[in-house]
Amino acid sequence: MITLENLVKAFGTGNAPVVDDVSLSVPAGAFLVLLGPSGCGKSTLLRMLAGLENPTRGTIRFGDTLVASASQSLPAGQRGVGLVFQSYALWPHMTVAGNVDWPLKVSGLDPAIRRIRVAEALDLVGIADLAGRYPAEISGGQQQRVALARMIAPRPQIMLFDEPLSNLDASLRVEMRHELTRLHAATGATTVYVTHDQVEAMTMASHVAVLNRGRIEQFGRPGDLLTQPATAFVARFVGTPPANLVPVQAGAWLGLLPDPALRGATGLAMVRAQDWHLSGPGPRSLPAQKIEVVPLAGRLVVTCKLGDQRVTVIAEPEAPLPADLHLALPEAPYALFNIEGQPLP
Amino acid sequence: MPPILRHPGLWPTLAVLTVLCLLVAAPLATILGETLGSAAWAEVLASRLSRNLLWRPLATTLTIGVAVAAGCLLIGGFLAWLVTMTDVPFRRSIGFMATLPFMIPSFATALAWGTMFSNGRTGGAGGMLEGLGVAVPDWLAWGIVPVILVLIAHYYALAFTVISAALSSVNGDLIDAAMMTGASRRRIVTGIVLPVVTPALLAGASLAFAGAVSNFATPALLGLPVRMQTLSTRLFGMIEIGQTERGYVLAILLIAVSAVFLGLGNRLLAGRRSFATITGKGGRGRVMELGRARWPLCALALLICLVTTILPIILLAAASLAPMSSALFSDWTLHYWIGEADPAFARGLAGILHNPQLLTALGVTMGLGISVALAANAVGLVVAVTTTRWHLPLLTGAATQLSFLPLLLPGIAFGAAYIALYGAPIGSFPALYGTPLLLALALTAAMLPFAVQTGRATVAQISGEIDEAARITGAGFLRRLWSITLPLAAPGQIAGVLLIFVSVIGDLAIVVLLYTPATPVLSVLSYRYASDGFHQFANAVTLVILILSIAATLVAQLLRKRQRNAA
Q: What is the pLDDT of residue B566?
A: 60
**What is the band of B325 on the pLDDT scale with cuts at 50, 70, 90?**
low
On whether residue B45 sits in a domain, the answer given is no
- Same domain (yes/no): B33, B1: yes
State the nearest Cα–Cα gap between B263 and chain A, in angstroms.
Answer: 22
**Residue A218 three-state SS:** strand
B476 close to A (CB below 8 A): no
CB contact under 8 A, B180 and A134: no
Give contacts of A 74-93 with B, CB under 8 A.
Answer: 75-78, 81-83, 85-93
- Same domain (yes/no): B323, B371: no
Q: What is the pLDDT of residue B156?
A: 94
CB contact under 8 A, B173 and A89: yes
* Per-residue pLDDT tens digits for B460-505: 777 667 777 777 877 777 787 788 777 777 878 888 898 899 889 9
State the nearest Cα–Cα gap between B91 and chain A, in angstroms.
Answer: 18
- Same domain (yes/no): B80, B201: yes
- Distance (Å, rounded) from C-alpha B6 to C-alpha B2? 7
**Average pLDDT, integer, range B414-429:** 81
A139 close to B (CB below 8 A): no
- List the single residue in B173, B183, B196 with the smallest CB-CB distance to A106: B183
Q: Order across the sheet with A309-315: list the strands.
A: A289-296, A299-306, A309-315
* Per-residue pLDDT tens digits for B97-143: 898 887 888 888 998 888 888 877 766 667 788 777 788 888 888 88
Buried b (16+ CB within 10 A) or exposed e, B213-235: bbbbbbbbbbbbbeebbbbbbbb
Domains in chain A, CATH or no CATH each = 2-233 (3.40.50.300), 241-337 (2.40.50.140)
**What is the band of A19 on the pLDDT scale with cuts at 50, 70, 90?**
very high
pTM higher than 0.90, yes or no? no
Query: CA of B282: which chain A residue's CA is closest?
Result: A87
Q: Which of B332, B360, B395 is the last residue of a domain?
A: B332
Cβ-based neighbours of A94, under 8 Å, separated by 6 or more: A102, A134, A135
- Same domain (yes/no): B12, B151: no
- Distance (Å, rounded) from C-alpha A14 to C-alpha A6? 19
Q: Please provide the average confidence, as pLDDT, over all residues in chain A.
A: 91
Residue B548 identity: L
CB contact under 8 A, A77 and B179: yes
**Average pLDDT, integer, range B177-197:** 88
Q: Which of A99-103, B201-205, B335-339 has the lowest mean pLDDT?
A: B335-339
- Same domain (yes/no): B438, B315: no
- Same domain (yes/no): B22, B64: no
Which of chain A's residues have a Cβ under 8 Å away from the Cβ of B282?
A: 85-87, 89
Q: What is the pLDDT of residue A145?
A: 92
Q: What is the pLDDT of residue B342?
A: 67
On whether residue B156 sits in a domain, the answer given is yes
Count the domains in chain B: 2
Q: What is the pLDDT of residue B10?
A: 83
- How many beta-carbon contacts under 8 Å exist across A and B? 77
- Distance (Å, rounded) from C-alpha B167 to C-alpha B82? 10
**Average pLDDT, integer, range A237-246:** 90
Confirm if A188 and A197 have CB atoms less than 8 A apart.
Answer: no
**Average pLDDT, integer, range B399-412:** 87
CB contact under 8 A, A76 and B180: yes
Q: What angle do CA B298, B169, B284 make, to 5 degrees?
A: 75
Q: What is the pLDDT of residue B516?
A: 82
Query: B566: domain CATH number?
Result: 1.10.3720.10
Q: The complex's ipTM?
A: 0.82
Q: Which of A180-189, A259-268, B393-402, B483-492 has the lowest mean pLDDT?
A: B483-492
Query: Percent of chain A having pLDDT more than 70?
Result: 100
Element (H, E) at A8: strand A2-9
On whether residue B259 sits in a domain, the answer given is yes
On whether residue B350 sits in a domain, the answer given is yes
Q: Which of the residues B169, B175, B180 would you substitute to probe the A interface, choosing the one with the greatest number of A C-beta atoms within 10 Å?
A: B180
CB contact under 8 A, A76 and B182: yes
B278 close to A (CB below 8 A): yes
A83 pLDDT higher than 60: yes
CB contact under 8 A, B173 and A87: yes
Confirm if B493 and B459 have CB atoms less than 8 A apart.
Answer: no
Torsion of CA B406, B408, B413, B415, to 10 degrees: 20
- Same domain (yes/no): B465, B406: yes
On whether residue B144 sits in a domain, the answer given is yes
User: In this structure, what DSSP letter does residue B191 have?
Assistant: I
B182 close to A (CB below 8 A): yes
A195-204, A316-325, B167-176, B475-484 — most confident range: A195-204
Burial classification of residue B48, based on how many CB atoms lie within 10 Å of its CB (0-12 exposed, 13-18 middle, 19 or more buried): exposed
Q: What is the pLDDT of residue B563?
A: 66
Q: What angle do CA B267, B273, B277 make, to 5 degrees?
A: 95
- Same domain (yes/no): B402, B275: no
Q: What is the pLDDT of residue B274?
A: 46
CB contact under 8 A, B177 and A86: no
- Same domain (yes/no): B19, B61: no
Q: What is the pLDDT of residue A132?
A: 93
A154 close to B (CB below 8 A): yes
Q: Please provide the average confidence, as pLDDT, over all residues in chain B.
A: 84
On whether residue B197 sits in a domain, the answer given is yes
Helical spans, DSSP H, in B216-243: 217-222, 231-240
- Same domain (yes/no): B167, B74: yes
B275 pLDDT higher than 60: no
B195 close to A (CB below 8 A): yes
* Per-residue pLDDT tens digits for A110-162: 999 999 999 999 998 899 999 999 988 898 889 999 999 999 999 999 999 99
Which of chain B's residues have a Cβ under 8 Å away from the Cβ of A135?
A: 278
Host domain of residue B271: 51-279+295-332
On whether residue B195 sits in a domain, the answer given is yes
Residue-level length of chain A:
345
**Residue A287 three-state SS:** strand
- Same domain (yes/no): B29, B112: no
**Average pLDDT, integer, range B519-542:** 86
On whether residue B289 sits in a domain, the answer given is no
State the nearest Cα–Cα gap between A150 and chain B, in angstroms.
Answer: 10
B208 close to A (CB below 8 A): no
B186 close to A (CB below 8 A): no
State the nearest Cα–Cα gap between B187 and chain A, in angstroms.
Answer: 8
Confirm if A194 and A43 have CB atoms less than 8 A apart.
Answer: yes
- Same domain (yes/no): B301, B384: no
B390 pLDDT higher than 90: no
